[in-house]
Each structure stands twice: as structure tokens, then as C-alpha cells.
Chains A and B, each alone.
Chain A
Amino acid sequence: MVKQIVNETKGKGGKTGKAIEKKKDDVWIPTCCWFCVMGPCLHRYHRVDGTVINVEGNTSEPGFDEWTRNQGRLCPKPFGLIEKVYNPYRVKSPLKRTNPEKGLDVDPGWVEISWDEALDTVAKRFKEIRAKDPRGVCSTFHSVAQMGMGGTWEAFYIAFGPMQDVRGGSGMRCGLGVHMFANTIHGAFRCSPDTNNTKYLLILGSNVVPSGGVCGNLNYAKAKKIVVDPMLSLTAAKADEWLPIKPGTDIALMLALIHIIIHELGTLDEEFLKNLTNSSYLVGADGHFIRDKSSGKPLVWDTAAGVAREFNAPDLGDLALEGIYTVDDQECKTAFQLLKEQMKQYTPEWATEICEIPAATIRRIAKEFVDNAQIGSTIRLDGIDLPYRPVDVIIGRPVEAGVHSYQNILAQHILVSLVGALESVGGHMGGCAHPTYYDHGIKPGADGMPQPIYHEFTWPPTCWSGCEAFVPFTKIFGHAAHLFWINMTNPPPGLPLPPPPQAYLRFRNNAIHSVGETEMVVSAMKKIPFIVSISYTYDEVTQLADIVLPDYTELERYDVLSPDYRLGSGRRFRGILLRQPIVEPPPNNRDISYIVTELADRIGFLDTYNNMINIRFNITDPYKLELNKKYEWVDIVDRMCKSLTKGEHDLEWFKEHGAIITPTTTEDQYNVHLHMVKEKIRYPVPYMDVVKTVGENLQANLAKVGVDWWSTKEYVALPSYLPSVLDTVPKEYDFYVTTSRLPQYSNASNNDCALHNEVMQQVPGQYEVLMNAGAARERGIKEGDEVWIESPIGRIKGAVGLSEGIRPDTLFMAGQFGQSVTPVAKDLAKLSVNAITPISYEWTDQVTGTMQSTIKVKVYKA
């Protein structure tokens, strides 16, 4: 039952005095969207006579406009969902290929088959593979599926057994680096500013203003923003100041800021550093924490007692922040002392030579940052006194992913720590003290800091990306997916890999476009003998598939979500939200949950699959699924509704009301800070002893197995300047290329929406290869000229757009285009730099495992 909100339709165009035709079916149906990490947002869609024609922010229930992320507002993405429903190029029947030859430009010779034939074919192959080793199947999927918005997909994926994980999110287009640190430092999936309260933001290479979802937009407007970006992005355009930094040199700027704060201003949040970080831990000559001989606990220097004591000894006096001490005849220094010494060299004058931002500007920014942090101030919220530090540093993908990204992320976190802005009101938030759906939470480890998570060294590696052997910290959230594709085509000599994958199961993402070196990924994919694509359209991966299973779009299906993660960061509610069908799906398409239930049943692991559904969706008695019964998704959804509300509300209730929303408390919002103080846990900064230790062990293990081509020298405890990998590219490649997500496209794959594309063409430079007007003049290139963009691995051709808002040595290409097969998207005929972005071990960050995303190219007229 859907509430009848409007009974008659509207006449259009301001017709005067005309009788308005009554419509039979005219309803607004509540649902939700979670197409970006800033969601979920509450929406309602307008359906008239069976056609969905509009969407708006849902404010139909009390509190919806106040506490929710979108506050009754809308970003442009949900409109694309309407378009997708009516995309005439949808796949509308299961298909099998008849042409054994595969290629992006080769007709697969699709023939329509029945669902039974399609599912039996897949189940038979998968069953054989699974019986030997489930890793024989590799899989990628869209991030929505990870967020619990993909029906029972995730339960299937886990219950099948460990597939080769080549998750979509971990390719080029994701900031995997930050996920690792968000967990190590904040216990959370990712970290971002306390958007509701922040006042001063230093934004490095991130287009966060328009891309930050509705919530980001509503809140970032209130803060002073300094944007450091080679290009005048939309974010930079809205900033108080734009600093066109030389690409790949953000680390120099951050190190200089740290230098100024420590060595020139000397304004530090000492109390925070001593009590809530490892700044006071004593470090020995070997670069590791000095430990108590019997307990093994790290030591700090108690200035009152004048001796070294265990970090959590009772009645500790004031701790030494700086200084050189002697413990057991061994000279040692506090972690902060080491930071101070290491940062001494990074003067603004040094940085300006590298990053090309004037030293005076760097000094001014450092001062503004410190002043705005209001060190020492507190704020009383709901009777709780909390530290108030309304400043943050945001880093975007070119900074948080790529070679040396670990140094960048560490420097970012040290910057905010110096002023005490970690998890403070207005500061840098992860917001997850306790584990949630996919945040690990903060468990106290033996050294008084959160328990780190990383792979134990595994040799030979069990997966084709080799992550357990080379990038241990990628245990958090997936893999360095690009290494999978490298190893499939050109593995390093002597790397003992498991038997090659026999099948590839793909749900909705596009690995061909989201990684790099497109041709290589395509050739790797072609090596996999059996590809199953769950897809709504004929895209590039589908073009290489053997079997295509067409699924429902987001407006044709159910999901239940209860986002209890990442409080702070602007989300001020808990709740249970329903996504529900607005319109009828095409008759021969099937929901993802139907598809995987049938596969689980036909392959023969319905019991483990049902069990996993109970676990992942937290379905408790009496609503639990019996293990050997096949359930329809709508039945499971009803059980979830009842189980989550302890029997109070069923699916019918949610279909009418859309969601239950309750505002969070101050304790919820600042749960990490309160947790750290209560449990006496310290943030593992500035001294990442754990990373150094893991790196040393990794080096020893790799030496044992004879690997000398993978370096661990970046596993350092303190950040340092390392020249950009781009400096090694021959001089003839004289342009940098940066990319960015466009708000109208990111996460939503809206590039196959014709109306959307038409509208988005309004923003100049989003589609073209954007070049500095002066630089173009020098080369005789005019607006609209066709040019070749050539990197050391290949070239692509496209039209140039000119702008004054970009460095003369930099090109910009948006990240979401370049499709050659996907209907509508391919007609845009726009470029993606991914196609010519080299992917290699050398161009992979040793610690975060992320691939280099900023590259160098040469440009010449076509």
C-alpha cells in the first residue's frame, strides 16, 4: 500500500483554465539512495500511470528534513535512475554468446536463452570449479553491493567460498589508501571532516564540494576553504583561495606545514599529543618503541618521576613530549622528538622549489590552520564537554592513491594531530569506535593503540593479486586490484601464483574502465575461459562475457539498510531505510537476489548461503531463514524489517513510511573521542611503529623466498619526502594529467543516461581534454582541435577544451568516460586517461597498494 499523496496530475506549461485529466495511478513512493559514501539519502519517486516521472527529497515524515543526510534535498544522480529504467538499450533476456572470438569490437553473436538454461550453465561450471577450489572464480562488483544495497549478493559471494577478490572499488577510481588508514587510525571505512562543525578546510586535490553528496554541499559552504589543486576545479572555484600546486608534490606542502607548526609557530595541542597519541612514546636507536623488559609494554618519560614508565602505568605524571633520554643505558628519544628532527629539513623555502607554492603563502596557511584550530578550546554539547578544533585537511584521490600515498596520508593525519583535531568537534572524523557492517572499530591493542589489521605473509600467495605477500595492509577492504590484472598478463618472474581463475563473475562494475591500461585489462580478461556478466546494459565487460544475466535497476527492487556506521562526518541519524520498487521491471529480467539464490541452490550451498544472509543482515529468531529452504527476496526483506524492528513493523509498514529515522546523540557523534579517552587508547600517530615493523618483517620474508624486486623502503614510521615517480618519465612527456570524479557521475554510472549527459555538457571542460589556454597557444592548438595524448604505453585522440583555470603543464580529463561499447556512453566519444595510464608494480604504492593515478603525457595535433 502506497500513500496516495497526489490525486490529480498537473497540467504543464501553465495552461490556463483547462480541465485537468484525472490519472488512475498517481503516487509518490518513498525509497532511498546510497550511490555515494555521503548517503544514504531519503527520496520519493513520482509514478503516474505506471511510469516513474520524477524524484524529490523525501520530507513526508517528521524529522526527514532535519536529521537525514539530504535534508529533503537532492543531488543530480537519482534522476539518472529514472533514465536507466527506460534505457532502450537494456538487456532484456539472458544471453549466451555464439561467437567464441572475444574482443571489444567483436560481435559476440548473442542469442537469447531461458533463465533455466542460463542459470544451469553457470551453476554447472561454478560447481565444478568450486569443488576443486572456490578461488577458481574471480569476481568484481559495484560498491553499492558492498554497502548492503545489492540484495543477497554479498551473502552469496562470501558463502561460495573465497573467490578471487578483484573488487571494483579497489581499482584506480577508489581511494583505497585512505581506507587502510581510516581503519588503522579511526577504526572506520574512511575519514572526513566533521562537516556540520568544521570551519577551515585545506583541500588537496579533491573535488569534494560538488562531489560530496547533498550533505557535503550543505555543510562545506560554511567553512573557509583553501583548495590546492593543479586545476581550478568546481571545488576550487568555490574556495576562498586556489593554489595551483605542481602535480604530485602535495607531500612537500604538507611536510612544510608540519615544519612551520613545529619549528616556527610552536603552537601545538600538547595535551592531546601527550595523552591521545604516541608522541611521548620512547623510541630507541633501532627506530622502534623502547619496551619494558618484563611486560614488553612501550615506555614513556614521566617528567614528574624523572624515569621511563609503562605507557599506561597508574598515576603517570606529566609526560615528556620532546627530549633525549637514557633508559637502561640506551639513548632514546620521544616519538615527537624524532618527528621534530625529521621535519627540520622541510622548510617552506625547500617546499616552494618543489611544489611551486610561495613560501610566504605556505607560512600564512599554516598560521591560519593553527589559529582556526583554537587549540585548548572546548565546546559543551548536550552537557558534554568536547575538544573543539574546527579544522581539517581533505585529500583527494590523486593524493591518497598512487606511489608515496602512504607518506601523504600519514602527513595529513600528523597535521591534524598537531592541533588536536582528530575526532574532535569540527575536526577529522572516522566516527567508528565500535565495529559496524564494515568498519572494524577500535579495539585496544597491546601497545595502547588500536589493533592494526594486516595480512600475515603468505607464500605462495593464495590470490592472483598477490596482496598477502606484497601489500599486507590491503587486508582492510579488498585488494590492490590492478596487481591481479598485471599478474594475469605479465607476472613478475618467479612469482608462484595459484592456478589461474577459471571463471569471472561480474556484478555491475566496469573493471575495464576503472583500472588502467585498458588494453592489458581486456587481454587479461579474455584469458579467463568463462565470464558471467550480471548487467543491465551492453557494456564493455558484457561484451566479453559468455553468459549475460540481466538484472533489475534500483527503481525495480528492494533493499533494507540500517546504516549504523560513520557517525560524525555529517550523518546525524540512525535508522532503518527501505529501497522499494517504484515500477515493474521488464518481464524477463530478474533481481540480483533471485539470480544468486538460484545459483546457490543449483550449485548446492543453499545452507551456507542462507546462514550468511542471517548473519550479514542480522536476522534473528523468529525471523531467521531456515537453512535448506529457498526464499524469495521480498520474503527476506519482510523478515529483515521485522527482525530489525523487533517485530514492530513489517515490509508493508516500511513501504508506506519509507524509513524509521532517529537523531543521533552527541555521544554517538563523538563516540571515537569519548571511547579513546575512556579506554585510554592513543591514536597510532605520529609514529607508525607498526608500519615499520610490518615492513621489516615483510622484507625479511621476501628475502627468504628470494624476492628482490619488491621494495619495502616506504614502510617508515614518519613521513618523508620522496621524489615523485613521475620524475622518472622521459622529458618528452611534458604534461601531467590529473583526473577527478564529476559529481553528476561518480559512483552512479550515469554516463549512459542521455538526458543527464545533455545537461552535464553545460559545465565546460568536463568532457574535453582540458588544457591551459596559454600553453595551447604556444603549441598552436585551438579550442576544439583534435589532439593525440600519448603516454609511454599508448595514445588516445580527443578534442581540446581551453581554460585559464589549469596549470600550463597540466591536462585534466574526467574519470568516468572513455566507453567504447556501452550504449549512449560511447556516443559521448569522450576520453578516459585510464586507457593510457600504465599499471605496474613500480607504479604501485608499497604500503597502501594503490596505483599511480597522475601520469605524464605528450600532446600533439591529430
Chain B
Amino acid sequence: MTRYGMVLDLNKCVACLGCMVSCKMEHLLPPGMSWCRVLVKEQGTYPSVGKTFQPIVCNHCKDAACVQVCPTGATNKREDGIVVVDYDKCVGCRYCMMACPYGARYFNAKRERYFPGKGVTPLEEASDKELQTGVVMKCTFCVEKIEEGLKKGLKPGVDKAATPSCVANCMTKARYFGDLDDPESEVSQLIRSNRGRQLHPEQGTDPSVYYIG
């Protein structure tokens, strides 16, 4: 079986936020919505103080709370472990948003514009074609990119054209993608050799996103 997952190296991330912009452009996300985020936190008091940068995305949990509560089956888990939302089935009840322990989901209530009063930009027109309103959305692991890549015989996480945008573009190579079920994949090896950690394991959702560093 395949279980896609991501590894984020906290040592390497410099909070350039390239992944956030990258994700927003890849999916033409409207104002106020970022499927990918980087949390910048300060710890300590002057002068013993540090800053950490933690990229977060949907964890594509193995035991996903969102999937369990979705009444219509719109949120579902694919065989390859990717949790997706079928917008056509989503009724916008937002139970999934309450259930997700990671705050990874967003409700696209209505069309928001970047330049209020200045019309709709061609980018927003393109976005309108892709993103429905009244539904819940979130990080998809760029599933379309993966599928297209697979069709061409490419390997997600190895070949750029089959790899999520935020991973492929990250300028410090802090992000990795691949098959967690394959012990030889780069992600599996990184998790093993760096004692990869999941976010809030106590929630029991078994995330497919691991942190190292």
C-alpha cells in the first residue's frame, strides 16, 4: 500500500513563507485562506530568547477525525492516504472543522476579493472556476499534481512534477514528500534516522506529517 506523507525539517526552515505563497498560487486561494502556514513563535525572555518556525499543513491523518464526522462522505480518505473533500458533496455543515484538532480546514463562505471595488482580476476569475463557495477546503497534498505525475510514470517526492508545490519550491529544501509505507523512501528514512515526530500524537489521529530537527 501507499501512504503519502510529508516531513518538515525545522532546522532548515527560515520562515521565508515561500511555501505559503506557493500553495496559495498553486490552488488560487482567495484572501484570508492559507492551506499551508508557518507559525513563528518566540520563546524565552531577553536575552535568552529563541524563535521557532513551524510549517503546518493538513496532516492527512490515518485516523482522520474529519472523515469520521463528515455526514455526506464529502471528506474522504483515498487509498493512498490523502484526505480530500469532494466539493460537490460538501454541504458546508463544518462539522469537520470542529473535529480537526489541527485547525487545518477553511470554509470558503463567499467570494472574497483582493481589491475590493476594483473588480475581479484574471487570477480571481481562474480561482472562481476551481473553488466553490459554501464548502470546506484544505491542503490536498496537491493531489492533482501527484495523479498527473503518476500517469506519466513519475514518482511523487522524487520527480518535481509529481510533488506538492510547497515541497518542490521550498528554497531551503526543508520539506520532503513520499510514501510512508515504503521503508526505503526518503521520508521513511528521515523519520527513522531523525526520530520524526507527529504533531499532537495524543489526539490519536496518527498524522502523516512528521517533523524533524
Contact = CB atoms under 8 A, between A and B. Distances in A.
Given A75-B16, A764-B40, A774-B46, A11 B144 contact: yes
A88 B121 contact: yes
B182 interface: no
B18 A86 contact: no
Interface string A190-211: 0000000000000000000110
B170 A756 contact: no
Nearest to A803: B42
Interface stretch (B80-88, B187-195, B201-209): B80-88
Contacts of B21: 76, 79, 755-756, 759
A245 to B, nearest CB: 11
Nearest to A53: B126
A56 B45 contact: no
Residue of B14, B118, B170 with highest tally of chain A CB at under 10 A: B14
Contacts of A759: 17, 20-21, 24, 34
Residue of A18, A76, A760, A764 with highest tally of chain B CB at under 10 A: A76
A726 interface: no
A219 B191 CA distance: 23
Interface string A208-219: 011000100110
A14 B14 contact: no
Contacts of B44: 804
Contacts of B119: 88
A602 B168 CA distance: 49
Contacts of A76: 16-18, 21-22
Interface in B37-78: 37-40, 42, 44-47, 49-53, 76, 78
A739 interface: no
Contact of A53 (B28, B86, B171, B172): B28
B181 interface: no
B123 interface: yes
Nearest to A744: B17
A644 B129 CA distance: 44
Contacts of B47: 242, 244
Contact of B169 (A15, A74, A242, A772): A74
A760 B17 CA distance: 7
Interface string A237-277: 11000101000000000000000000000000000000000
Interface string A739-774: 000011000000000111011101110000000111
B122 A743 contact: no
A86 B25 CA distance: 13
Nearest to B88: A15
A54 B169 CA distance: 12
B140 interface: yes
A89 B114 CA distance: 12
A805 interface: yes
Nearest to A12: B130
A232 interface: yes
Contacts of B40: 762-764
Contacts of B53: 234, 237
Contact of A805 (B49, B87, B171): B49
Interface string A1-22: 0000010101111111010000
A807 B46 CA distance: 7
Contact of B85 (A11, A13, A236): A13
Given A11-B144, A13-B131, A759-B20, A53 B25 contact: yes
29 contacts: A10-B144, A10-B148, A12-B144, A13-B27, A13-B87, A13-B130, A13-B140, A14-B140, A49-B126, A53-B28, A53-B123, A57-B160, A72-B160, A74-B171, A75-B16, A88-B121, A89-B115, A210-B14, A234-B15, A234-B53, A238-B14, A244-B46, A244-B47, A743-B16, A754-B114, A759-B21, A803-B42, A805-B42, A805-B46
Interface of B: 11-12, 14-18, 20-22, 24-28, 31-32, 34, 37-40, 42, 44-47, 49-53, 76, 78, 82, 84-88, 114-115, 118-119, 121-123, 125-126, 130-132, 135, 137, 140, 143-145, 148, 160, 165, 168-173
Given A13-B137, A773-B45, 12 more contacts: A13-B85, A14-B144, A53-B126, A56-B168, A56-B169, A74-B18, A74-B169, A89-B118, A759-B17, A762-B38, A804-B45, A804-B46
